[in-house]
Amino acid sequence: MNINGSDLIKACSAIGAGLAVIAGIGPGVGQGIAAGHGASAVGRNPGASGKIMSTMLLGQAVAETTGLYGLLVAMLLLFVQPLS
C-alpha cells in the first residue's frame, strides 16, 4: 500500500470532519433539557409563560451555535483542502 501526502491529508480531513460533527450531540441534549425544564416551569406558573419561553428560546439559540460551528468546521474540512 502506497500512501502519499495528499491521501493522508484527505483521510485526516475526513476523520476530523466526523469528529467535528459529533459536536452536535451536546446542543441536542442541552436543548432537550432546557425545553423540558421550560415546560415544567410553565406548568408550575402559567402566568409567566411569555418570559419563560423567551428566555428558553434565547438560551437554545446560544446553545445551537456550538452545533453550527461544528458543522461549519466539518464542511470546511471536507470541501476546502488548501494543502492538497
Identify whether the C-beta of residue 64 lies closer than 8 Å to the C-beta of residue 7: no
CATH architecture of 25-77: Up-down Bundle (1.20)
What pLDDT is recorded for position 15? 92
What pLDDT is recorded for position 44? 93
Identify whether the C-beta of residue 20 lies closer than 8 Å to the C-beta of residue 77: yes
Residue 62 has pLDDT above 80, yes or no: yes
Q: If pLDDT is split at 50, 70 and 90, which confidence band does 80 have?
A: confident
In angstroms, the CA 47 to CA 50 distance is: 8
Torsion of CA 64, 19, 74, 34, to 10 degrees: -10
Residues in the chain: 84
In angstroms, the CA 18 to CA 12 distance is: 10
Instruction: Give the position of cell 470532519.
Output: 17
Instruction: Report the predicted TM-score, pTM, of the whole model to 2 decimal places.
Output: 0.72
Q: If pLDDT is split at 50, 70 and 90, which confidence band does 72 have?
A: very high
